[in-house]
């Protein structure tokens, strides 16, 4: 199975290229062309091998949810000329990611196990078990690092440092809670639990706050199966989940947590195939649609042709 791990397009009127952990973003005039690669990252490190169809899954899930939440907040998406490509309006991003957590999982659970009870200025109650539900979802922002690790930051520090104005931040919080509520309802409809997620926002040229990037994908979110959740919690068992947390757990088991001096293990073929299947499973589960695999031969040529056709060049 072929995986797209790198692009190097040269489009007419192209002014810049940004290579992210997973997405390659091409600036062309007033629009951004975002290619969702098959790269996979964990602990803020891009892993050596790509995951076939992962980029298509991420791109199409993001489109599904951007369309389903456009009544809550305007978003950047304009078109998708290829299964792995989104085209949208250019925005100036806020330098924070809005992370919202409904359950004590992932990073929050790891901090909790260390005895930390205050995360990003939010107090977590004593006596919680991993994967317990919070009484109310908590917002735990991170700084948006151009490279390296994103860092936890509190609401108070964001305002104190002037990273975001108070009026804008109040709006970001409101949008974050409303989006999480909608995402949780859509997940519940498919017998899933939206555990936690992150949102990124920017401002368009008119100064309007816009939802940007992906939302509710397995790269930006964690999902549990609702069926059996309570029973597993009562027994102290791990939750069955649809996210890339199982990739992080595999890395931890193989001696890697993104710390200095640690070597990134290379995923074997069977594990890569399993990760690909899990991504496709999540697409079908969360969207209710059958996943149709795009032609994986000469992926770069296909993408380039479709983008050029959209740009009418």
Q: What is the pLDDT of residues 58-70, one digit of tens each?
A: 999 999 999 999 9
Give the residue extent of every domain in the chain. 14-91+248-311, 93-242
Alpha-carbon gap, residue 219 to 20, rounded angstroms? 13
pLDDT over 60 (residue 79): yes
Alpha-carbon gap, residue 195 to 238, rounded angstroms? 14
Considering only residues 220 and 126, tell me which one the structure prediction assigns the higher pLDDT: 126
pLDDT, tens digit, 9 for 90 and up, residues 164-206: 999 999 999 999 999 999 999 999 999 999 999 999 999 999 9
Q: Between helices 54-68 and 166-189, what is the axis angle to 10°?
A: 110
Cα torsion 268, 269, 274, 275: sign: positive
Helices (H), the chain: 54-68, 106-113, 155-160, 166-189, 229-235, 245-253, 269-287, 299-311
Q: What is the mean pLDDT of the chain?
A: 94
Q: Do the beta carbons of residue 81 and residue 87 sit within 8 Å?
A: yes
Phi, psi of 54 (to 5 degrees): -60, -45
Which of 149-153, 165-169, 233-237 shows the lowest per-residue confidence on average (mean pLDDT)?
149-153
pLDDT over 90 (residue 25): yes
Residue 127, C-beta contacts closer than 8 angstroms, at least 6 positions apart: none
3-state helix, strand, coil in the chain (%, to 5): 30, 25, 40
Alpha-carbon gap, residue 217 to 205, rounded angstroms? 27
Which pLDDT belongs to residue 313?
55
CATH number for the 93-242 domain, one of 2.40.50.140, 3.30.500.10, 3.30.470.20, 3.30.1340.30? 3.30.470.20
CA separation (Å) from 123 to 34, 120, 312?
37, 8, 53
Which pLDDT belongs to residue 145?
64
Question: Topology of domain 14-91+248-311, per CATH?
Answer: Phosphorylase Kinase; domain 1 (3.30.200)
Alpha-carbon gap, residue 300 to 77, rounded angstroms? 22
Which pLDDT belongs to residue 148?
56
pLDDT over 80 (residue 113): yes
| Radius of gyration over every alpha carbon of the chain, rounded to an integer in angstroms | 19
Same fold for the domain at 14-91+248-311 and the one at 93-242? Answer: no
Which pLDDT belongs to residue 245?
77
pLDDT, tens digit, 9 for 90 and up, residues 284-313: 999 999 999 999 889 999 999 999 999 985
In sequence order, what are the beta bridge partners of 159? Answer: none
């Amino acid at each position: 199975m072929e995986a797209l791990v790198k692009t190097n397009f040269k489009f007419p009127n192209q002014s810049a290229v940004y290579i992210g952990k997973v997405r390659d973003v091409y600036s062309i005039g007033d629009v951004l062309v975002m290619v969702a690669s098959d790269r996979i990252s964990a602990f803020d490190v891009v892993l050596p091998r790509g995951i076939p169809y992962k980029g298509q899954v991420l791109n199409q899930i993001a489109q599904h949810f951007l369309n389903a939440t456009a009544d809550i907040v305007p978003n950047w998406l304009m078109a998708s000329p290829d299964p792995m490509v989104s085209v949208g309006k250019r925005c100036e991003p806020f330098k924070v990611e809005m992370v919202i957590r409904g359950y004590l999982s992932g990073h929050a659970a790891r901090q909790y196990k260390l005895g930390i009870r205050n995360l990003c200025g939010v107090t977590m109650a004593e006596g919680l078990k991993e994967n317990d539900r919070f009484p109310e979802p908590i917002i735990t922002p991170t700084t948006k690092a151009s490279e390296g690790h994103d860092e936890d930051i509190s609401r108070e520090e964001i305002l104190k440092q002037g990273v975001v104005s108070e009026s804008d931040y109040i709006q970001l919080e409101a949008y974050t809670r409303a989006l999480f509520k909608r995402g949780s309802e859509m997940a519940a409809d498919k017998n899933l639990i939206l555990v936690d997620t992150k949102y990124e926002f920017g401002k368009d040229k008119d100064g309007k706050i816009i939802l940007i990037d992906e939302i509710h994908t397995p790269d930006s979110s964690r999902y549990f199966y609702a069926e059996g959740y309570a029973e597993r919690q009562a027994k102290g068992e791990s939750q069955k989940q649809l996210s890339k947390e199982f990739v992080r757990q595999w890395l931890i088991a193989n001696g890697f947590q993104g710390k200095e001096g640690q070597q990134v293990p290379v995923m074997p073929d069977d594990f890569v195939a399993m990760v690909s299947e899990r991504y496709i499973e999540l697409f079908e589960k969360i969207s209710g649609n059958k996943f149709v695999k795009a032609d994986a031969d000469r992926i770069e040529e296909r993408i380039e042709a479709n983008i050029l056709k959209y740009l009418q060049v």
